[in-house]
């Protein structure tokens, strides 16, 4: 009896000391909130975990699946309001500024200076990552949104050629439709409507006007003949979408292009994953070209991590390690190979990437020089979420009613004011 008590006490003591020890050793822990939970994305995140663990830090995964990260954002808000923010969270675009305004983000300038982020990132991109001139976020990847994915077989069958302007588009689409095929694969969801409209507007109005309208929210650019012409072009595109498109998911629309039921889709480069999964190879089974009128211009959608102010020194160390790891070539390469995007940092070897990614990368750098690198407003890179939502409403209402381009342009200017 006595012996067993003693043994129990001893075990308890050992256990307690082990626990205390392990708590001590695991102090440098990073908790990362993200919503990359599907196949290739999850693999990409696991890579980051491996790199950090190799540096002796602990990784605590904080994945919140669902939606376009809406659930994750709700969780993040409650964590921050309760005073326990994670180390880092997947947040992009002007939302970075909104979080920084709350005063909860940490300054990453020391890490950035050490690794020369200013030299590695185009100014348009680093501006998104900065708040009042200081780095508060780290870019992970660059998605190009203004792609057109085409099935060359369908074009050949219809005797049409891949369009490079919106006028050529109408000619080609007519031929495809006459051949009994669907010209444009599309899903009638507000964000998809906006994605198509964004490429149309950039093709019609050019980068300079695009920036004035969708980044500066200049009313004279929003309610303008150029905007009306963009909407009129959207109406033309709409004619070539099949009538069952309502609420179709984007990947089902991509499948229509893969299966040869439809000729083309306007979608960001995440669509490539669908082609790859179907064992199709770029250039042969499918073609990736900029949307009509978009040659030389690049709409970017950049995923990034914002870093929250941490209390303990260990946590700060781990956070710094996380920030610098994300920008390292090793991670940027593996992550983006899995995700279908391209590295955010310039000057990397693209040898392992496919042709679409290589094109994307070279246009990323050339467009940055020619000032045609613009943020994608349909993907939350250009304006506050409230204005973006209001513009989604206008575009999607235009697509689902007989609103005139003139009325739509007026509504866009009104939408820009919503707070």
Partner 1 sequence: MQSFASAQAGAAAPAATPRRSLLDVVELALPKLVLGPTLLISLIFVYGFILWTGWLSFTESRMLPRYEFAGLLQYISLFGNERWWVAVRNLAVFGGLFIFICMAFGLLMAILLDQRIRAEGFLRSIYLYPMALSFIVTGTAWKWILNPGLGFERLVQQLGFSGFTFDWLVNPQMSIYTVVIAGAWQSSGFVMALFLAGLRGIDESIIKAAQVDGASMPRIYWSIIVPSLRPVFFSAFIILAHIAIKSFDLVMALTGGGPGFSSDLPATFMYAFGFTRNQIGLGAASAVMMMMTVAAVVVPLMYSELRRERRG
Binding site for partner 1 (CB under 8 A): 67-68, 70, 73-74, 77, 80-81, 95, 98-99, 102, 188-190, 242-247, 384-386, 388-389, 393, 396-397, 399-401, 418-419
Q: Which phi and psi angles does 260 have, rounded to 5°?
A: 80, 15
Q: What is the smallest separation between the CB atom of 200 and partner 1, expressed in angstroms?
A: 17
CB-nearer residue toward partner 1: 247 or 279: 247
How far is it, in rounded angstroms, from Cα 56 to Cα 314?
Answer: 11
| Token pair in block for residue 316 | 């700060």
CB-nearer residue toward partner 1: 113 or 417: 417
Half-sphere exposure of 360 (CA within 13 A, CB side): 29
Contact between residue 319 and residue 59 where contact means Cβ atoms under 8 Å apart:
no
How far is it, in rounded angstroms, from Cα 12 to Cα 285?
Answer: 65
CB-nearer residue toward partner 1: 80 or 215: 80
Q: What is the smallest separation between the CB atom of 140 and partner 1, expressed in angstroms?
A: 21
Q: What is the smallest separation between the CB atom of 375 and partner 1, expressed in angstroms?
A: 17
Q: What is the smallest separation between the CB atom of 93 and partner 1, expressed in angstroms?
A: 12
CB-nearer residue toward partner 1: 243 or 369: 243
Which are the contacts of 122, defined by CB distance < 8 A and separation ≥ 6? 346, 364, 365, 368, 373
- Residue 95: C-alpha distances to residues 123, 276, 381, 382, 385 (Å): 18, 32, 8, 10, 8
Q: What is the smallest separation between the CB atom of 144 and partner 1, expressed in angstroms?
A: 24
CB-nearer residue toward partner 1: 336 or 396: 396
Q: What is the smallest separation between the CB atom of 188 and partner 1, expressed in angstroms?
A: 5
Neighbours of 265 (CB within 10 A): 27
| Token pair in block for residue 97 | 């500024």
84: closest CA among 96, 76, 92, 95? 76
CB-nearer residue toward partner 1: 6 or 246: 246
Q: What is the smallest separation between the CB atom of 75 and partner 1, expressed in angstroms?
A: 11
Contact between residue 395 and residue 190 where contact means Cβ atoms under 8 Å apart:
yes
182: closest CA among 170, 174, 190, 171? 174
CB-nearer residue toward partner 1: 2 or 243: 243
Q: What is the smallest separation between the CB atom of 34 and partner 1, expressed in angstroms?
A: 17
User: What string of DSSP letters covers 402-414?
Assistant: ---HHHHHHHHHH
CB-nearer residue toward partner 1: 157 or 261: 261
How far is it, in rounded angstroms, from Cα 380 to Cα 323?
Answer: 22
Q: What is the DSSP letter of 213?
A: I
CB-nearer residue toward partner 1: 312 or 400: 400
CB-nearer residue toward partner 1: 95 or 164: 95
- Residue 199: C-alpha distances to residues 145, 148, 219, 293, 413 (Å): 8, 9, 20, 8, 19
Q: What is the smallest separation between the CB atom of 247 and partner 1, expressed in angstroms?
A: 5
Q: What is the smallest separation between the CB atom of 306 and partner 1, expressed in angstroms?
A: 13
Half-sphere exposure of 112 (CA within 13 A, CB side): 20
How far is it, in rounded angstroms, from Cα 180 to Cα 170?
Answer: 15
């Amino acid at each position: 009896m006595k012996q067993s008590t003693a043994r129990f006490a001893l075990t308890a003591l050992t256990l307690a000391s082990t626990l205390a020890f392990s708590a001590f050793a695991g102090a440098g822990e990073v908790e990362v909130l993200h919503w990359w939970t599907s196949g290739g994305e999850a693999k990409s995140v696991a890579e980051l975990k491996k790199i950090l663990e190799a540096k002796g830090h602990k990784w605590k995964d904080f994945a919140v699946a669902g939606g376009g990260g809406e659930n994750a954002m709700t969780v993040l808000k409650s964590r921050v309001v309760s005073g326990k923010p994670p180390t880092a969270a997947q947040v992009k675009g002007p939302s970075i500024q909104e979080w920084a305004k709350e005063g909860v983000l940490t300054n990453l300038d020391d890490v950035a200076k050490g690794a020369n982020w200013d030299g590695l990132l185009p100014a348009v991109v680093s501006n998104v990552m900065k708040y009042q001139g200081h780095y508060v976020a780290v870019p992970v990847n660059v998605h190009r949104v203004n792609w057109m994915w085409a099935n060359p077989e369908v074009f050949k069958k219809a005797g049409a050629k891949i369009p490079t302007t919106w006028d050529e588009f109408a000619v080609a689409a007519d031929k495809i439709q006459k051949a009994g095929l669907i010209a444009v694969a599309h899903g009638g969801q507000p964000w998809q409507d906006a994605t198509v409209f964004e490429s149309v507007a950039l093709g019609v109005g050019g980068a300079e006007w695009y920036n004035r309208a969708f980044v500066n929210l200049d009313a004279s650019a929003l309610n303008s003949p150029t905007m009306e012409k963009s909407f009129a072009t959207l109406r033309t595109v709409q004619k070539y979408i099949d009538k069952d498109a309502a609420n179709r998911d984007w990947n089902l629309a991509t499948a229509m292009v893969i299966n040869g039921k439809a000729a083309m889709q306007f979608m960001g480069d995440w669509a490539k994953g669908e082609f790859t999964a179907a064992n199709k190879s770029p250039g042969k089974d499918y073609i990736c070209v900029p949307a009509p009128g978009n040659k030389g211009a690049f709409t970017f959608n950049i995923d990034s991590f914002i870093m929250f102010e941490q209390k303990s020194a260990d946590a700060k160390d781990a956070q710094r390690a996380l920030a610098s790891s994300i920008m390292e070539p090793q991670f940027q390469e593996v992550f983006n190979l899995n995700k279908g995007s391209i590295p955010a940092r310039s000057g990397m070897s693209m040898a392992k990437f496919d042709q679409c990614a290589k094109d994307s990368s070279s246009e990323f750098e050339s467009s940055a020089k020619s000032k045609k690198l613009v943020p994608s407003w349909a993907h939350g890179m250009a304006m506050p979420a409230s204005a973006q939502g209001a513009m989604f409403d206008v575009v999607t209402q235009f697509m689902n009613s007989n609103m005139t381009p003139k009325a739509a342009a007026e509504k866009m200017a009104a939408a820009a004011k919503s707070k």
